[in-house]
């Protein structure tokens, strides 16, 4: 079975690589030290410190494996590949919620980089999927659990910080 391709911006790739480096070089050492200390307490059958450290080790190793798999199967979007003709991953999009008369601005990103609180909208979210591929001044219907919303695309640009 083929792994699904994860789309990442260069910035997203850099963040994942930094997290991976931190987990491998710092967190692994910290956990190894915790396990070593817990082992010095003796009897492992009633050693909650040991159990806790081993659980934490499992979580960290799982995250390392997840990041490595993501990076191994990632499609990296370079700034040069980003067009402002249509909404795509890596673009900054300003949209207008027609009913609420509210403007919003998002950076379109792949699912692994999504963080709505930071203005990073996933290409797989209802709004992200609906506006993907559309041009400035187009009105897009977005199906949501609470009904259909209409958004007008006001602006598409590249990110200056990438």
For residue 28, what pLDDT is reported?
Answer: 95
Please, what sign has the CA dihedral across residues 55, 57, 60, 65?
negative
113 exposure class (CB count in 10 Å sphere: 0-12, 13-18, 19+): buried
**pTM exceeds cut of 0.85:** no
Residue 57 confidence (pLDDT): 96
Q: What is the pLDDT of residue 151?
A: 96
- pLDDT class of 93 with cuts at 50, 70, 90: very high
Does residue 118 carry a pLDDT above 70? yes
């Amino acid at each position: 079975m083929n792994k699904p391709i994860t789309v990442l911006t260069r910035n997203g790739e850099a963040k994942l690589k930094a997290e991976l480096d931190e987990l491998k070089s710092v967190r692994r050492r910290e956990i190894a030290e915790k396990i070593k200390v817990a082992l010095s307490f003796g009897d492992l059958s009633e050693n909650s410190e040991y159990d806790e450290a081993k659980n934490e080790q499992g979580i960290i190793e799982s995250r390392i494996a997840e990041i490595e798999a993501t990076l191994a199967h990632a499609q990296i979007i370079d700034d040069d590949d980003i067009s402002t003709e249509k909404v795509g991953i890596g673009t900054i999009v300003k949209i207008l919620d027609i009913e609420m008369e509210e403007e919003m601005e998002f950076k379109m990103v792949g699912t692994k980089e999504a963080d709505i609180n930071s203005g990073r909208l996933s290409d797989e979210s209802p709004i992200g999927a609906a506006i993907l591929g559309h041009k400035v001044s187009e009105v897009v219907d977005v199906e949501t659990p609470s009904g259909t919303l209409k958004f007008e695309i006001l602006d598409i640009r590249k990110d200056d910080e990438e």
